[in-house]
Amino acid sequence: MKTLLLTGFEPFLKYTVNPTMKIAEELHGQIIGDYKIHSEILTVDFKSSGDQLLAHIEKVQPDAVLSMGLAGGRYKMTPERIAINVKDGAADNEGNQPIDEVIQADGEPGIMSTLPVRAMVNRLLAGGLPAEVSNTAGTYLCNNVMYEGLHYAATKKPAMKSGFLHIPASHELAIQHGSIPSWSHEDLKKGVELCIEVLAADET
Ligand code: PCA
């Protein structure tokens, strides 16, 4: 049995709930294909979220990492193609607001996801869920965590697959937010499960 480290994020900015948190919690301990899921929730903090991810990787020793984040305003499930070595954006939950900073001083400008992003999109579409490959994870915490996971894998654990999935808002969040496209929690969770199925079937 392999291990998948599945991460979600806490609420942040104007998003009073984060659907990735509930999905991560519900999938903890579940088995999909030959993967047993170990879930963790990350804080939205430029100074510590990357280190939290790396600490979980070192503790859990996963075969693969799938991190999830909310992309408020997106209509589709979007596996991310690439993380970039930039942190920049609105103030995080601790008030940090980096401008044009690098994540890893010795890191590549960009690192491609090692998850089967195209196959994930195809499986989501076949399952009736809107999806597309995204070419930017932004420069906020999601990109930061994606980059840290890929940089760690590239430098220390090349066999570990790693990448990121952005998901739309849940109806629960949309009701509180007031003006945002949303999916049911069940569909969001099904989409994540389908992505893990694809990962489990991927032999590359
Ligand atoms: N989404 C944010 C950070 C936390 C989350 O769930 C992002 O897209 O960067």
Q: What is the pLDDT of residues 128-163, one digit of tens each?
A: 999 999 999 999 999 999 999 999 999 999 999 999
- Ligand 1 pocket, residue 12 CB under 6 Å: yes
Is the pLDDT at 12 greater than 80, yes or no? yes
- pTM value > 0.95: yes
pLDDT at res. 80:
99
- The pLDDT of residue 46: 97
Q: Which of 49-53, 68-72, 146-150, 199-203 has the lowest mean pLDDT?
A: 199-203
CA distance 44 to 147: 15
Determine which one of 40, 56, 80, 195 is catalytic.
80
Which two three-digit tokens encode residue 117?
Answer: 């992003």
Ligand 1 probe mutation, 42, 53, 70, most atoms within 8 A of CB: 70
Q: Which structural domain range is residue 184 located in?
A: 2-203
Alpha helices in the chain (DSSP H): 19-27, 49-60, 117-126, 141-156, 171-177, 185-201
Residue nearest to atom 7 of ligand 1 (CA): 142
Q: Which atom of ligand 1 is nearest to the CA of 42?
A: 4
Is 80 an annotated catalytic residue? Answer: yes
What is the rounded CA–CA span in Å between residue 71 and residue 18?
A: 10
Could you tell me the CATH number of the domain that includes residue 128?
A: 3.40.630.20
pLDDT at 178: 87
pLDDT in tens, 159-199: 999 999 999 999 999 999 989 999 999 999 999 999 999 99
Catalytic hit among 38, 40, 56, 142:
142
Active-site residue flag, 195: no
pLDDT band (50, 70, 90) for residue 118: very high
Q: What CA–CA distance (Å, rounded) separates 135 from 177?
A: 26
Total structural domains in the chain?
Answer: 1
For residues 61 and 28, is the Cβ–Cβ distance under 8 A? Answer: no
pLDDT at residue 203 above 80? no
